[in-house]
Amino acid sequence: NAAGGARSSGWPVVPPPDLPARPVPRAPLTDVVPRRTLIIIAVVVALAVLGTVLALTLGGGDDDKGAEGGNGGKAVASAGASGDTKQDEESGTGTDGSASDPATDGDPTGAPDAGASASGTTDGESDDAGKSEDDEDVATTHQGGQGYRIGLPEGWKFASTGSSGDRFTGPRGQKLLVAWTSTPKGDPVADWKSQEQYMVRSNYQKVRIEKVGYRDWNAADWEFTYTDGGTKYRTVDRGFVVNDHQGYALMYTAKAADWGDDLRRDTWRTLSKTFEPKS
């Protein structure tokens, strides 16, 4: 939680930690359906059940025999439907169980592979020709309302937009915030150091604040760790000035325990290399 209301420059600020959305209270059934209607429905259901019981009791002798197999054993319904449903749930998308943000692992449309090219064709040798390594890691390209574009790796999705910027979520609790300003200052290192004095995230520890080479833009990284819900996270917040009226920050977060993994490194490389500012 950085500058907040004490923001002293036009630079994108570090927002407060993500908090789970409060559940919307559900109205009682009697607030939606009149009580008289509920009573009528209950009577109709009771009469239907009674009629079914009487029909089975008074006329079901021959039908019971017909349901038996040739060896005298009754036929047993297959449990394949419930088994398939369970399998779909286990192989479908979902959270990793320990992340504070939702994380999806796959295309919400159910496609087995989100590796289609930008032209809409499926993967193939001819489509792979000329692709960079980062292009191959991109599952979808997001066009932000501000005008920027960014490639999202497999399992990533747009989550929300707000006063802090656009939020995205990825597998294993990864998060990205894209923030922007139309009045950037000329020294991102100084701005990050100024904002650090307002940082109040739980167990905050600075790793570094330093100037970095990022294309031909004036850029600086603010890297730090903090804890949220008992889990330690690590964040790199890259602020950069594109021109006199465009400044951006890419705030990428992953679990500290995953920081050295190939997935984490590849993801940050893809996000930072595919980002394109508003033209």
- pLDDT recorded at residue 176: 99
Residues 263 and 150 grouped into a single domain: yes
- Please give the tally of structural domains in the chain: 2
Residues 10 and 47 grouped into a single domain: no
Residues 10 and 50 grouped into a single domain: no
Residue 53: give the domain boundaries. 32-58
Residues 53 and 169 grouped into a single domain: no
Residues 36 and 12 grouped into a single domain: no
Residues 54 and 137 grouped into a single domain: no
Q: For residue 146, give the nearest of 271, 247, 1 by alpha carbon.
A: 247
- pLDDT recorded at residue 39: 75
Residue type, 91: S
Residue type, 134: D
- pLDDT recorded at residue 89: 32
- pLDDT recorded at residue 40: 75
Residue 118 lies in a domain: no
Residues 11 and 41 grouped into a single domain: no
Per DSSP, 225 falls in state: E
Q: pLDDT for 197-235, tens place per residue?
A: 999 999 999 999 999 999 999 999 999 999 999 999 999
Residues 253 and 140 grouped into a single domain: yes
Are the beta carbons of 238 and 221 closer than 8 angstroms? Answer: yes
Residue 105 lies in a domain: no
Residues 48 and 147 grouped into a single domain: no
Q: Which residues of the chain have pLDDT under 70?
A: 1-35, 37-38, 43-46, 48-136
Burial class from Cβ neighbours inside 10 Å (0-12, 13-18, 19+) for residue 162 reads exposed
Q: Domain holding 137: CATH number?
A: 3.40.1000.10
Q: pLDDT for 72-95, tens place per residue?
A: 433 333 333 333 333 333 323 333
- pLDDT recorded at residue 28: 52
